[in-house]
Structure 1
Amino acid sequence: MRDITSLLVCVLLSICIYGISIMYYFHIHFSWQGVQEACHIGVQILQNLGNPALKLKSYMALIFASLPLIVWVIFSLMGNAKPKGNYGNARFANEKEIQAMGLNYESGMIFGCLNKGRDKKLFIRSNQPLSTLIVAPPGTGKTASIAIPNLLSLPQSCVVLDIKGELYQKTAGYRQQKLHNKVLLFSPFNDENTMFFNPFDNKVIKEMSFVQRKKLADQIAGTIFVGEKGKENDHWVISAKTMFSFFALYAMQKFGHTTLAELAQAPKKDYYNELQGDYLQMCQIQDEDTGEFERNPKEDTLKAFFLQVANDESIDDIVRNQARQYSSAAQNEFASIKSTYDTFMAVFSNPQVARAVSKMSFDYEDLREEHISMYIVIQTEDMDILAPLIRILLESMCKKLLTKENNDPNKFIYLILDEFVRFGKMPFLLEMPALCRSFGLVPLYITQSYEQIKKYYGEDDVKIIRANVAYQVIFRMNSFEDAETLSKMIGDFTREKTSTSKGNLDMLKQNISTNAEGYKLITAQDILSNPMDKIYILVGGFLNRPIKADVNFWFKLKEWQGADKIPYIPPETQSQEVVQNLGKDLVKENKEECNVYEYKFRGLKGY
């Protein structure tokens, strides 16, 4: 509007200058009659432009008349030449840009939705094997709008960390009966446990070379024996770790299998029945009356065992040399190593845990070839006890699955890692975002704050995971520091700031200046005050195009009403036919009693 006004002023000024110039060059006296004569001459000049008979003074009048317009054009071009967005060009993404980011509205992991009316939603989804990070305090709806909707919609295999058991209770039955998943529950202290995990099971290690077995033993030892922060290289912890690798390697070479429960008892085990020859005689005494050899209760069978292993040529030299060192170790030092070992391995001495790790009830590749829902349910009070076991399970599983590439979306494995930081430091998890694309693993990291990640992983690791994840879903936050960090990541947009100054004669003199300035598209305060039903979605490579979306609460969708009421039926108690019939009866009952929408999984396309 300001440009149009200035143009009109310049046109009027040019007309006035044109008339005055004609009166000057043609010596016309200023009067009403003179003005009329000047207008007549001005029209004739315009009509005869290009005529050779037209005198120079006619062109001079035109030149002076055009000066205001020339000045206006120059200033207009200068204003337009000012680069747009020189302080930033952040803005919210539109629907076309959302699809250009590699997202879709049809299939894959659900982040949120766009409400298109009372009964119409577009679900913002990704079917790419890329990682997602969600940082939100308790009560913001991250479980009800992210974890549960994905468990009710993704037919592929899912591995779920479930501290409270809420995800198992609300989704296991639906995934079993509607998405036709095999359901496994790993909850060692729960009588309903249906999954068994033994990383040293014969079917896991039978094809491994010694080098691979040693790598496995060292990997698991490194997961169990973790020193306190600042004491990671404690002598006793490292020595106990070495002892674990020794016993594990010996058992794998000698017997072809072992268990974590057996390894927990290894330093305290009675080896009398495993001793042979001279090493057996070391633990025997001759009866004075009968002359027969019988066990000497005063002799420690462990030392004889070490000597026997040290001279067993069927065992690899690395194991034999370690046994030789233990056979001559100082008693006090060895006792301290055993004490440290027992402290870290105590969890595997629990009968319920020992049963849960007694065998291997699944193959890692089953997660790709079949559709399996694996729920890892650990109660809060058991967290410190079982955390090492869960770390072993996740690390063994993920590292094995990262050895075989997979680009088939039907064989993707979704890892819903709710409150993953509470299970202790798992460095391999930080590597997942950089590696998962080629192997079809799709990790979803869920935690309450960046401070939680810093506590267990350190500040540098927080920067790594934030830089490597492909997607971030931002709920309302309570931490100003976290909100400010995200605000800076999104960046600024350029806006014009107009200032007006006036002199003493306000009506006759004023100065208007326009300056560009950068301003945060989403301020820290916006994030701290974000409504409960709104989220921002950030996509790697498009951080300056955040998606403003709606929270997708699962219980507000007709497709899923009553989904949490479908119970999980253990396979051993019901035939598949009974399970299917029971599911149909439950759906019918829910329709009659609750008058809810009929259960029909429609792939959750936008409707």
Structure 2
Amino acid sequence: MISFEDLPRGLPREISQKDSAPRALWVPPEGLAQSERWAPKPTAPLVGQDRNGEWICLDDDRHLLTVAGSRAGKGVSVILPNLAIYKGSVLVLDPKGENATLTAERRGRGRGVPAGGLGQDVFVLDPFGWANVDDEYRAGFNPLADLDPADPLFVDHCDSIADALVVSEQGKENDHWSANARLVLRGFNAWVASKPSGKRDLVEVSRLLHLPLSPPADENGKRPKPNPDAYFDDLLDAMLDDPDRAWGVTAAAAGALLSMGHEERGSVLSTVRQNILFLSSPQMAKMLSDTGREPDLKAWKFGGQSIYLCLPAGFLHTHARFFRLFLNRMLAAVEATPPVPRDDPKGLMILDEIHVLGHMKAL
């Protein structure tokens, strides 16, 4: 039997003698005051206060990670103060709508706020109406609306949207079913986004992916006239017959499906449909097909926009693809635009409850 007295303690003497002395330490208020890096400024996010009550900001474009238990005060200590004072644009994952409820008016027109408003354009994307904000701040988001089929990056944007929507099981990012589901969804995104007229949104993509097969021939051997808008097999034929459309990815998706065996095709389509199931929610469908008030993603990082993404806590795991989708499109827009001038406030993303997103290559 081994007792605690038998266990080795500490480090071997030769290792401890060779190690250098620890150099990490808590910086005293005097040290913070002597460094411009921690001084309050409009380009720097707020990270806290020192023991003398002086604000501490960190002017750094690297990520900041806050880890604490439930009800430890992350929102009150970090999120809300930044939303109250940060002068640059913000994007907030707001799982319960509380941040929008408390700060949307402050960041917007400032009605009833003692300190006034920051005068930004506020967009609250809240499909279930969870946040208590003025209706003028509510907005929609159609990720296909600004895609241009003539853009050389058109296919990449369609692929980015598919990647946001198809979530693989942990550790299986490149499994057969998910990879083919992304290929198919990319093709259907491109088909809808390249339509010359009619609906161009993810709700239409979902409708097409759920079309029935065309009915069999009647007793006289007559088949109904092909209708790509009503029958799935007719749609695949139409996609194959237009190989130059959308840089060829629509025909590639149709060809991939038609080359599969019956069971494999059914499994791939089942994977696609499972990953876009959240689009069947009427509230979510309405917001993602909204052609009214929308944020300007390409202008966001240059200032003047506050965007809140809200979902009820109970829907986070079933509807988190909405968060993934918006973040993917935002990151694509940020990368496609020139850098912000050095002395201007940068766009600040506050990603609360980020674990619900799952693995995102873009992050």
Structure 1 and Structure 2 fold alike (TM over 0.5): yes
Match of 1:324 in 2: 255
**Relative to 1, partners in 2 of residues 1:327 and 1:216: Cα closer, same or farther, differing over 3 Å?**
same
Q: Secondary structure at the match of 1:102?
A: helix
Q: Distance in 2 between matches of 1:286 and 1:240?
A: 37
Match of 2:113 in 1: none
TM-superposed CA distance for 1:283, in Å, is 8.2
Please tell me whether Structure 1 or Structure 2 has the larger radius of gyration of its CA atoms: 1
**Relative to 1, partners in 2 of residues 1:411 and 1:102: Cα closer, same or farther, differing over 3 Å?**
closer
Contact 1:114/1:123 (8 A) holds in 2: yes
Contact 2:40/2:57 (8 A) holds in 1: yes
Q: Deviations along 1:14-50, whole A, 9 cap, x unmatched?
A: xxxxxxxxxxxxxxxxxxxxxxxxxxxxxxxxxxxxx
Which is worse superposed, 372-381 or 135-144? 135-144
Q: Secondary structure at the match of 1:129?
A: coil
Q: Distance in 1 between matches of 2:332 and 2:203?
A: 22
Q: Distance in 2 between matches of 1:382 and 1:242?
A: 27
TM-superposed CA distance for 1:216, in Å, is 1.3
Structure 2 residue 104 is the aligned partner of structure 1 residue 163? no
Extract structure 1 runs of 4+ deviating beyond 4 A: 282-288, 292-297
Match of 1:187 in 2: 126
Q: Secondary structure at the match of 1:262?
A: helix
Contact 1:286/1:294 (8 A) holds in 2: no
Q: Residue type matched to 1:225 in 2?
A: V
Match of 2:66 in 1: 134
**Relative to 1, partners in 2 of residues 1:271 and 1:197: Cα closer, same or farther, differing over 3 Å?**
farther
TM-superposed CA distance for 1:215, in Å, is 1.0
**Relative to 1, partners in 2 of residues 1:231 and 1:179: Cα closer, same or farther, differing over 3 Å?**
same
Q: Deviations along 1:212-239, whole A, 9 cap, x unmatched?
A: 1211122222222122124333322222
Q: Distance in 1 between matches of 2:308 and 2:185?
A: 28
TM-superposed CA distance for 1:268, in Å, is 2.2
Q: Distance in 2 between matches of 1:338 and 1:207?
A: 25
**Relative to 1, partners in 2 of residues 1:113 and 1:244: Cα closer, same or farther, differing over 3 Å?**
same
Equivalent residue for 2:50, pick from 106, 114, 119: 114
TM-superposed CA distance for 1:294, in Å, is 5.8
Q: Distance in 2 between matches of 1:294 and 1:425?
A: 45
Q: Residue type matched to 1:229 in 2?
A: Q
TM-superposed CA distance for 1:114, in Å, is 2.7
- Greater strand share, 1 or 2? 1
Match of 2:166 in 1: 225
* Counterparts of residues 387-398 of structure 1 (less than 5 Å): 387-398=320-331
Match of 2:240 in 1: 310
- Greater helix share, 1 or 2? 1
Match of 2:282 in 1: 351
TM-superposed CA distance for 1:376, in Å, is 1.2
**Relative to 1, partners in 2 of residues 1:329 and 1:424: Cα closer, same or farther, differing over 3 Å?**
closer
TM-superposed CA distance for 1:329, in Å, is 3.9
Match of 1:333 in 2: 264
Q: Distance in 2 between matches of 1:293 and 1:387?
A: 42
Match of 2:37 in 1: 102
Match of 1:172 in 2: 104
**Relative to 1, partners in 2 of residues 1:230 and 1:91: Cα closer, same or farther, differing over 3 Å?**
closer
Match of 1:566 in 2: none
Q: Distance in 1 between matches of 2:149 and 2:302?
A: 20
* Counterparts of residues 537-576 of structure 1 (less than 5 Å): none
Contact 1:158/1:415 (8 A) holds in 2: yes
TM-superposed CA distance for 1:411, in Å, is 4.4
Q: Distance in 2 between matches of 1:313 and 1:353?
A: 33
Q: Secondary structure at the match of 1:339?
A: helix
**Relative to 1, partners in 2 of residues 1:333 and 1:172: Cα closer, same or farther, differing over 3 Å?**
same
Q: Secondary structure at the match of 1:427?
A: coil
TM-superposed CA distance for 1:306, in Å, is 1.9
Q: Residue type matched to 2:242 in 1?
A: D
TM-superposed CA distance for 1:397, in Å, is 0.2
Q: Distance in 1 between matches of 2:140 and 2:100?
A: 17
TM-superposed CA distance for 1:259, in Å, is 1.3
Contact 1:283/1:295 (8 A) holds in 2: no
Structure 2 residue 67 is the aligned partner of structure 1 residue 125? no
TM-superposed CA distance for 1:171, in Å, is 1.4
Structure 2 residue 171 is the aligned partner of structure 1 residue 238? no
Q: Distance in 2 between matches of 1:199 and 1:136?
A: 33
Q: Deviations along 1:319-369, whole A, 9 cap, x unmatched?
A: 324423434543333222222221111111221111111146122133244
Q: Secondary structure at the match of 2:71?
A: coil
Structure 2 residue 324 is the aligned partner of structure 1 residue 375? no
Contact 2:159/2:186 (8 A) holds in 1: yes
**Relative to 1, partners in 2 of residues 1:413 and 1:318: Cα closer, same or farther, differing over 3 Å?**
closer
Which is worse superposed, 330-339 or 177-186? 330-339
Q: Secondary structure at the match of 1:387?
A: helix
TM-superposed CA distance for 1:241, in Å, is 1.7
Q: Secondary structure at the match of 2:49?
A: strand
**Relative to 1, partners in 2 of residues 1:252 and 1:205: Cα closer, same or farther, differing over 3 Å?**
same
**Relative to 1, partners in 2 of residues 1:401 and 1:208: Cα closer, same or farther, differing over 3 Å?**
farther
Q: Residue type matched to 2:49 in 1?
A: C
TM-superposed CA distance for 1:295, in Å, is 5.0
Contact 1:180/1:371 (8 A) holds in 2: yes
Q: Secondary structure at the match of 2:92?
A: strand
TM-superposed CA distance for 1:271, in Å, is 9.3
TM-superposed CA distance for 1:418, in Å, is 1.5
**Relative to 1, partners in 2 of residues 1:153 and 1:208: Cα closer, same or farther, differing over 3 Å?**
farther
Contact 1:220/1:392 (8 A) holds in 2: yes
Match of 1:473 in 2: none
**Relative to 1, partners in 2 of residues 1:109 and 1:327: Cα closer, same or farther, differing over 3 Å?**
closer
**Relative to 1, partners in 2 of residues 1:314 and 1:254: Cα closer, same or farther, differing over 3 Å?**
farther
Contact 1:183/1:374 (8 A) holds in 2: yes
Equivalent residue for 1:251, pick from 192, 195, 200: 192
Match of 1:422 in 2: 356
**Relative to 1, partners in 2 of residues 1:151 and 1:285: Cα closer, same or farther, differing over 3 Å?**
same
**Relative to 1, partners in 2 of residues 1:189 and 1:359: Cα closer, same or farther, differing over 3 Å?**
same
Unmatched 5+ residue regions in structure 2? 1-18, 111-116
Structure 2 residue 296 is the aligned partner of structure 1 residue 363? yes
Q: Distance in 2 between matches of 1:159 and 1:221?
A: 22
Equivalent residue for 2:142, pick from 172, 186, 198: 198
**Relative to 1, partners in 2 of residues 1:141 and 1:321: Cα closer, same or farther, differing over 3 Å?**
closer
Contact 2:187/2:251 (8 A) holds in 1: no
Q: Distance in 2 between matches of 1:359 and 1:97?
A: 51
Match of 2:4 in 1: none
TM-score, normalised by the number of residues in structure 1: 0.48
**Relative to 1, partners in 2 of residues 1:411 and 1:88: Cα closer, same or farther, differing over 3 Å?**
closer
Q: Distance in 2 between matches of 1:244 and 1:86?
A: 55
Q: Deviations along 1:190-220, whole A, 9 cap, x unmatched?
A: 286822112211xx212752x4121112222
Q: Secondary structure at the match of 1:255?
A: coil
**Relative to 1, partners in 2 of residues 1:195 and 1:88: Cα closer, same or farther, differing over 3 Å?**
same
Match of 2:205 in 1: 263
Q: Distance in 2 between matches of 1:379 and 1:261?
A: 21
**Matched pairs, number:** 324
Q: Residue type matched to 1:114 in 2?
A: D
